[in-house]
């Protein structure tokens, strides 16, 4: 389909809530919580605290989770998906942005999805760090997807056309730096977010102008 074809799969968008909390002044990543129904995980962009926030559908913060001994170099996206222990849900926070293509190594932080009970703040020190490079060198990436069946991670480049999809095959080394390999190219550009459906059969991606299904 061309960019301007209407998609009849989805209903028209409708406003749900307006973000007014100054703590969330530059939201960059968003993922639907699996273990906290009706809630979303969000985080801010580079230079902000290394923290993720659980918000309800009115965008009220219910839980602030700080990651211990980690910096928010350029957090760009996040995803909820499976992990090393079957039956548990994990949060993947992607420090993968690189506007000037100067960082050789990118990072993804993975930890079991916290369950909210009231409102509060916690510090997470038990998490995995997946350090990796791109097969073809340094470049900006702002979107990740976790396949719900294979647990493979997919990343999408941003500042080129076509964009390239990279794959990190599960299981992931957490002691060594691994290489994300080129998987395919797509005739798109400026991709800033993406995600699988829960059955792994559908994908959505977005840039500044369109959502692609």
Residues shown for the chain: 213
Q: Which two tokens stand for residue 127?
A: 């998490």
Euclidean distance between CA atoms 68 and 71, whole angstroms: 9
- Statement: residue 93 has pLDDT above 70: yes
The answer to which of 5-14, 39-48, 174-183, 203-212 has the lowest mean pLDDT is 5-14
Predicted local confidence at residue 1, as pLDDT:
41
Q: What's the pLDDT tens digit per position in 152-188?
A: 999 999 999 999 999 999 998 888 999 999 999 999 9
Q: What is the DSSP code (8-state) at residue 177?
A: -
Strand order in the sheet with 120-124: 27-32, 39-44, 51-56, 61-67, 120-124
pLDDT of 54-92, one tens digit each?
999 999 999 999 999 999 999 999 999 999 999 999 999
- pLDDT tens column, 112-142: 999 998 778 999 999 999 999 999 999 999 9
Rounded mean pLDDT of 89-117? 96
Is it the case that residue 4 has pLDDT exceeding 90?
Answer: no
Per-residue pLDDT, 144: 98
pLDDT computed for residue 5 by the predictor: 58
Supply angle C-alpha 193, 48, 56, rounded to 5: 60
Phi, psi of 211 (to 5 degrees): -110, 130
| Position 9 confidence tier, pLDDT thresholds 50, 70, 90 | confident
- Note the pLDDT of residue 2: 45
């Amino acid at each position: 389909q061309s960019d301007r074809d209407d998609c009849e799969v989805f209903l028209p968008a409708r406003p749900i809530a307006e973000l007014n909390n100054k703590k969330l002044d530059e939201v960059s990543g968003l993922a639907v919580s699996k273990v906290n129904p009706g809630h979303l995980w969000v985080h801010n962009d580079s230079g902000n605290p290394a923290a993720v926030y659980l918000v309800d559908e009115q965008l009220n913060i219910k839980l602030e989770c700080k990651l211990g001994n980690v910096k928010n170099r350029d957090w760009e996206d996040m995803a909820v998906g499976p992990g090393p222990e079957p039956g548990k849900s994990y949060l993947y926070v992607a420090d993968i942005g690189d506007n000037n293509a100067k960082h050789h190594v990118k990072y993804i932080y993975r930890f079991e999805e916290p369950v909210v009970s009231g409102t509060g703040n916690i510090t997470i020190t038990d998490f995995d760090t997946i350090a990796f490079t791109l097969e073809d060198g340094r470049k900006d990436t702002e979107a990740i997807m976790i396949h719900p069946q294979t647990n493979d991670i997919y990343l999408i480049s941003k500042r080129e056309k076509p964009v390239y999809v990279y794959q990190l095959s599960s299981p992931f080394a957490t002691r060594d730096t691994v290489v994300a390999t080129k998987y395919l190219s797509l005739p798109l550009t400026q991709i800033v977010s993406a995600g699988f459906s829960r059955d792994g059969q559908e994908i959505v991606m977005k840039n500044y102008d369109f959502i692609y299904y």
